Structure 1
């Protein structure tokens, strides 16, 4: 007795090709969405890292600049040593022994390539404390809020000793070579007085400007 099989026909070649095409389209869509989400995540993480990097650097700078001129024994003659638009060096008698010859008692901040550098000692080498910094700017004021301007000429010891307020600005850059959403940066970055500290070169980098005012509470004491 023969048994007949019903519906024993397989898929035709056309049906297989149609299924393959549909599957390819779906997989391509999934991959494209995944790639977009991944690039967006990497971009956002890079921007977050940029802000954290800049804020951490600013926090350290502010804490140390506030101590400029610290001289608990009145024998160390702690003061400001260098004050330019891009470099600031000052003294702190941190251990109160009457001099500023110990470690971390002479501190300098300046831009070193693409890093914000910090040096200790009168001739110390700048060590990176924050990466991907495009600009750092310092503005100085005396106790009457008159600007102590290095551009007006070489500052004398009296000028340096008169500094009471320092406004610090830094421009940080996101370290991300493949931004998900590219945007040409044409921004002109300025300090609180409106002076230009960086003109972007029409690139696709993302940047942020942070500024703070630091009262040097120990200067003139």
Structure 2
């Protein structure tokens, strides 16, 4: 019987060597590290931008509120209204008018002030109604928990901007992380009135415009290149 010749099959023995695998793993590790760092930096950037936007929005909201209310200081449509409606002084640093706080009154329209069901004259010549007696100041706290002491103008400690109505309680928080709140007062000749002289109603009646400097700090200052933002604006007290 004739036997068939056996031809050996050639097998491919090619593959990656251990050195090649190690080099590939090192390259992959470098690439993955770069990707992780990129995502981390991007996350930090967006977080920082969000904090800056939040601070900017808080500042603008505080400015809008203060402009609207301080503009109406001294509003007194009632003929029978007593003198003294306007900027106020007080022995309590929260309720006086100086460099670090502002206290003002106005006579607002109160629907049905007597509770009779008839809205005759909502201007009653008094300042004991809702939002008629207002103070702004900054306290040494984060707007949460225990209310701290009133902070002086120029002290850069982050504090809470507060709004107090009728001198009741600790005041409602307006904005946290405020590093500066300062008021400058001008008379009819655009001359600065020294805050130390604003101790009598006659002197307070000289105020015509108020310049407000308000500085806010982001929640995590180390995460952004510009941790603070400042708004400076002047308000005309139309009724003074």
Residues 209 and 178 of structure 1: is their aligned pair in 2 closer, same or farther, counting only changes over 3 Å? closer
Equivalent position to 2:130, from 80, 103, 123: 103
Equivalent position to 1:74, from 74, 79, 82: 79
Give the stretch that moved more between structures: 9-18 or 158-167. 9-18
CA contact (8 A) 1:76 1:100 kept: no
Q: How does 1:36-185 map to 2 (within 5 A)?
A: 36-77=41-82, 78-81=85-88, 82-95=96-109, 96-113=123-140, 114-151=159-196, 153=197, 155-179=199-223, 181=225
Q: Distance in 2 between matches of 1:90 and 1:124?
A: 17
Ranges in structure 2 where 5+ consecutive residues have no aligned partner: 1-5, 89-95, 110-122, 141-158
TM-score, structure 2 length as denominator?
Answer: 0.75
CA contact (8 A) 1:109 1:119 kept: yes
Q: Distance in 2 between matches of 1:68 and 1:7?
A: 94
More strand, by proportion: 1
RMSD of aligned C-alpha atoms? Answer: 2.0
Q: Distance in 2 between matches of 1:62 and 1:124?
A: 23
Equivalent position to 1:18, from 6, 23, 32: 23
For residue 170 of structure 1, report the CA deviation from its aligned partner.
0.9
For residue 123 of structure 1, report the CA deviation from its aligned partner.
4.1
CA contact (8 A) 2:52 2:218 kept: yes
Q: 2:143 corresponds to which residue?
A: none
Q: Distance in 1 between matches of 2:9 and 2:81?
A: 109
Residues 5 and 216 of structure 1: is their aligned pair in 2 closer, same or farther, counting only changes over 3 Å? farther
Q: Distance in 1 between matches of 2:7 and 2:211?
A: 98
Q: Helix, strand or coil: the match of 2:223? A: coil
Q: 2:113 corresponds to which residue?
A: none
Q: Distance in 2 between matches of 1:27 and 1:54?
A: 41
